[in-house]
Each structure stands twice: as structure tokens, then as C-alpha cells.
Amino acid sequence: METVTYNGWACLRLANREVELLITRDVGPRVIRLGYLGGKNLFREMPGQQGMSGEAEWQIRGGHRFWIAPEAKPWSYELDNESYASAEKIAGGVRVRQAAGPITGIVKQMDITLASDSNTVTVVHTLINAGNEAVECAPWALSVMNVKGQAVIPLPSKIAHTARLTHNQTWSLWGYTNLADPRWTIGNRYLFFRQDPACEANKLGIAHREKWVAYQLDGFLFVKYFEHSDGQKYPDDGCSFETFSNEDILELESLGPLVVLKPGGSTRHIETWKLFKDVPLCKTEADADTFIRPLV
């Protein structure tokens, strides 16, 4: 770990022989960069918001951030526009912690580690209730991906209609969800969702039990792993995964279960990320079976 300057911010840098990630220190915390050494940033860097701080309103900025679900204003939009409380070295990485929010009374903490022998990042997202009242909430991990890429979302394996009489999937739709949007390819085994700078907001949420989603961009593949716990209550009528895209971004968002967080209590949600390169763009489900499944 070292401290570097990136986009005008002081950042903590974790690197191995192939990949690096940068965590903002002057704002956030955000993982503002993730990519191969000298290569493209898989995360979005929002123009006009780099190197800035102290704004009166919340800024998306880009990168990977940690929010509190369910989404509401001002609840989810507590400012992270200044230097945060602490950063300390831990085995293989760093622990960054934002002070308790003035609205929620909740502390956000991320333990971010990078393996030395593989391109694997682990992010432990922890919410700690530093207030005086119990709060129902869920950890929400949002990766803001760079433009003109493609999300690949696996679907459950198909079974005969006689094998099970009840549903095995739950999707949530928003008032602006458009399944006729040409950015979608809704297949039998996968959903493909493409970022297009010419297209406006669209979103979909899923009770996602397949444990991974991916993003392809210019030959690079980012895979995000997370768990879905059956029997637990999730935000947005059962969503453990949501994806959102507009003209500027595409987000891969995983969510933990809703819990009643008592004063002093905590809850955590774990993501694992893996990076690969020289992966052909998948235009069909057969392509995804050939080029992504073996890596996942």
C-alpha cells in the first residue's frame, strides 16, 4: 500500500504484479480506479467531478461506493465530499471508515484487500449503528462501470414445468424500467445490458441466486461475486442485485439483507471481484458459455 495522487486526489494504492486499485482519501471513500497496470480503468470517472471536494450536494464521481438501502433522499445521499474518518493498514489491504452520518447515525466501513498471487479483490462492507435508535437498513455496494461496456447477468438453469410449480425468480421493475430498450438482450440463460451514451435511465432488480455478474469492456472482464440468502428480507421487494444505466454510467449493485440494526450493532456484506483480459465480447449466449463461464 502506498499514497499517490490520482485525478487531483490523494489516494491509497493497492497493487500486485498485474492489477491495481486506488481508493480516494480526500473524499469518499471510493475505489475510484480498478484495472490492469497501465491499462483502462474499468470504473467510471465522472467528468467535472474529479479532484473536487466540499460540494454542498452529493456527487456520484464514479468508482465503487458504499450506500445504505433502501434508497431514499436524503437517507442514501449523505455527503461523502470530504476526507473521511480513518484509513488503516490490514493484512493484504486497507480498512477505510467514514464517520457516522448526521442523518442516519450509521458508520460505513470497507475492508479492501488485493491478493498477491491472483487478480482477486475482496471488499467487506460493514454498517455500524452509532446512533441511539434502531434502524432498518441493508448494505448496498455499487460499482459504477465505465461507458460503452456490457453487463452479463446469468439466469437460473431451466427446469421442466412439471418439476416445480412455484416460481424460482423475482424481478423488480421501476417506473422508468423499459424492457423494450434495445440495450437489453433477454435470453434463456443470460441477460445482456449494454451501456449507451445516447440512452436514458433504465433499471432492473433481481433476487439473484447465481452468485456472480460480469461487465465486459474493450477485452477486459470484471466479475463481481456475492451471496443471496434465501429466507432473508431484501430491499425493493427481494432484490439482492440491481443494475442501472443512463447516458453516463452502468452500475452493478449488490445488496445485503435488510436487518434491524440496534445501537452499537453492525451488519456486513461481502463482494469478491476478479479481473481478466483478452476476453472476446460476447454477442450471444453461446459466446458467454464459451468465453465467460470457464473463467467464472
Residue whose C-alpha cell is 416445480: 164
Q: What is the pLDDT of residue 165?
A: 87
What is each CA distance from 45 to 33, 90, 173, 235, 287, in whole angstroms? 8, 27, 27, 28, 29
Domains of the chain, by residue range, sit at: 2-291
DSSP reduced 3-state for 286: helix
Query: Distance (Å, rounded) from C-alpha 296 to C-alpha 287?
Result: 14
Residues of the chain with pLDDT under 70: none
Query: Distance (Å, rounded) from C-alpha 211 to C-alpha 154?
Result: 9
Closest CA to 107 of 122, 92, 85, 88: 85
Q: What is the CATH number of domain 2-291?
A: 2.70.98.10
- Per-residue pLDDT tens digits for 156-196: 999 999 998 888 899 999 999 999 999 999 999 999 999 99
Q: What is the pLDDT of residue 45?
A: 98
The grid coordinates listed for 275 are 479481473
Instruction: Label residues 91-117 b or e (16+ Cβ within 10 Å = b).
Output: ebbbbbbbebbeebbbbbbbbbbbeee
The answer to whether the CB of 20 falls within 8 A of the CB of 33 is yes
pTM of the model: 0.97
- Per-residue pLDDT tens digits for 4-46: 999 999 999 999 999 999 999 999 999 999 999 999 999 999 9
Q: What is the pLDDT of residue 74?
A: 92
Query: Distance (Å, rounded) from C-alpha 222 to C-alpha 220?
Result: 7
Q: What is the CB-side half-sphere exposure of residue 233 using CA atoms within 13 A?
A: 8
Rg (CA), the chain: 19
Closest CA to 228 of 246, 214, 240: 240
Q: Measure the N-to-C terminal CA separation of the chain; round to a whole number of Å.
A: 28
What single letter denotes the amino acid at residue 52?
M
Residues 6+ apart with CB under 8 A from 142: 64, 65, 66, 67, 251, 252, 253
The answer to whether the CB of 251 falls within 8 A of the CB of 245 is yes
32, 81, 113, 3: CA torsion to nearest 10: 80
Q: What is the pLDDT of residue 1?
A: 85
Q: What is the pLDDT of residue 27?
A: 98
DSSP code, position 289: H
